Structure 1
């Protein structure tokens, strides 16, 4: 009679049910960690806003929060979570939607003539990244594939995933990539502030001003845009499109208002993502960068010194590329610096958005570079592995 009430202990569950229980527990822990990171990142961001860091303050708040929480889990609870790649994908989608909507009234077709220049600058940066990776490999005695994945500006998550797929040093790759992205995101606003202070608009406190101001029609349009973005991301993922989350959301942001204007029922309604969407996207991108800082930072001092050396060389290569861009175009120096900066595409576009400086040019330049790098990755990996085998084989 009471047989139906008997609860089977976890250790007696079938293997597939044990796996389900473990996955559920892992998902709950990830949600708890992410919630804690967001709760910590918001006050940190507010402090940085008070210090007049500018609109990029929320990324830095996220970076600090991600590093602190992940390291705290390791030190105090002996729990070793991995960086939350799903949170980064959500952040990329929110940033893409925000950037797309902000550029929806811009004439991006006028930038088509500059695509050869964007491609040239991308090839220059890839060539420099290859040379820096080779030099870094020889000096640090690291295998060539690991060094190349660490130094080529292809993004923290993508390069770390490839390193894991080929059984390379994921920690080292993630550390060097995170150092590079963090350095670029930190240095460019600092350079802009010291050189042309007027480009940095003073950041208000959206938590108390605009963040809590909800417009129900806009929230409804936001829900529709997020549904369309999710469907487009799924389709892009099936087509193996690189950076599917960012590209899909960017396309939706660019075309959503045009789609609305085709429907008579909406009249002159225009969609603009609420302020909290932009803020949340920045926080999530910052948190995932910070998590890579907090993920197994117990690397030797010598390895960290070589990593800083490679990052410094990559930044110098970006500065040289900016000088080339100034000679080839009529852009001002800050635009050239933003276009050629060796940071992640979402992060650098966010920086230009925070600086309110030629966002459409910076967006186009980084999209061209993102497409070129991701589409050529199979060829680069094949060449790196081939050279790696040649260098490792005894003569």
Structure 2
């Protein structure tokens, strides 16, 4: 007899306890007024549980679906009023690319000289973002995939944990009032607005793959949604409850990357990854101040846009805190695109330079 159809993919069922754990962490963080409660609460609880040796399920396909949702939400921030910001954005993008180059040089040198990784491992571990594509490239080059993955996971963890205190020091964001209250969670778009958002999600996923965009399930829907909103065809936005759920899924997806990482065996590698990440955070802060001084863009927006890695996570933070999500998203898309185009010739040049 054929098996009865299931409502969810088997992998999704295995993720439900992890999602519940992340949701519990989000609730606790929300009740104690932690900034970005759903994201950081889920991230902290699942990271600690993973490092304690508990094997948590991976979000798998659910994370892919959430990336589409985040993309649609990010696209809704591209309104016609943004047309006057193009000059400042272009100048900021140039600063971001220069800062990214500096951060990558520092990160690669740290991984190669201090951490003692091979040249290929250092190059892919030091690259600022685009982890999925980087892991495929790293696999083909024979780099240490575990070291690359852990370095990027620690970097994203440190970036997300560092954002609230840094933004609090800047004084540009009311973190205490950034969370949506329960009364707002039930807000829903109109039927017509919902239809447009569904079109953006489905068509965007296809467009992202056809155009071979980096992180196609995020940036494809963001592109289509931005065109719909910028043109004025729709002003619909997804309900705040969905943003909270997206934060929980993204937070848990970061936390489960530490499953199988034994603190006793990996203490040195984890410690070095934390040090590297903190250095990059300081460089991003310095670049954000430069960006604000030269372009007038807020320091908070520049910081989220210039941070090296975690495009879905940092774009979601910008959306959740309402810190110019369109600006942040466009910068991350540009950075990852330039990175993936430039990295293969850069790897070849580095090998030739080392042999010279």
Could you say which TM-score interval applies, normalised by the shorter chain?
0.7 to 0.9
Q: Distance in 1 between matches of 2:136 and 2:49?
A: 22
Maintained 8 Å contact 1:200/1:354: no
> What TM-score, normalized by structure 1, do the two folds share?
0.76
Quote the residue 2:228 is aligned against.
Answer: 256
Maintained 8 Å contact 1:242/1:371: yes
Correspondent of 2:17 among 17, 36, 41: 36
Query: SS of the counterpart of 1:142?
Result: coil
Q: Does 1:137 align with 2:112?
A: yes
Correspondent of 2:39 among 52, 59, 64: 59
Structure 1 residue 30, shift from structure 2 partner: 1.8
Residues 167-316 of structure 1 mapped to structure 2, 5 A cutoff: 167-196=142-171, 199-200=174-175, 202-204=177-179, 208-214=182-188, 217=191, 218-236=193-211, 240-257=212-229, 261=233, 270-297=235-262, 299-316=265-282
Structure 1 residue 245, shift from structure 2 partner: 1.6
Q: Distance in 2 between matches of 1:387 and 1:67?
A: 39
Q: Distance in 1 between matches of 2:251 and 2:61?
A: 13
Q: Distance in 1 between matches of 2:103 and 2:188?
A: 47
Query: SS of the counterpart of 2:108?
Result: helix
Maintained 8 Å contact 2:15/2:56: no
Structure 1 residue 373, shift from structure 2 partner: 1.6
Q: Does 1:380 align with 2:352?
A: no
Quote the residue 1:12 is aligned against.
Answer: none
Gaps spanning 5+ residues in structure 1: where? 8-20, 262-268
Maintained 8 Å contact 1:98/1:277: no
Q: Distance in 2 between matches of 1:385 and 1:287?
A: 37
Structure 1 residue 97, shift from structure 2 partner: 1.0
Maintained 8 Å contact 2:121/2:144: yes
Maintained 8 Å contact 2:19/2:248: yes
Maintained 8 Å contact 2:197/2:225: no
Sort the Cα spacing of 1:140 and 1:224 in 2 relative to 1 into closer, same or farther, 3 A: closer
Which string of whole-angstrom CA distances, capped at 9 and with x for unpartnered residues, describes residues 180-228 of structure 1? 112112212222224427532525566x433345456144443333222
Sort the Cα spacing of 1:336 and 1:211 in 2 relative to 1 into closer, same or farther, 3 A: closer
Quote the residue 1:266 is aligned against.
Answer: none
Query: SS of the counterpart of 2:184?
Result: coil
Gaps spanning 5+ residues in structure 2: where? none
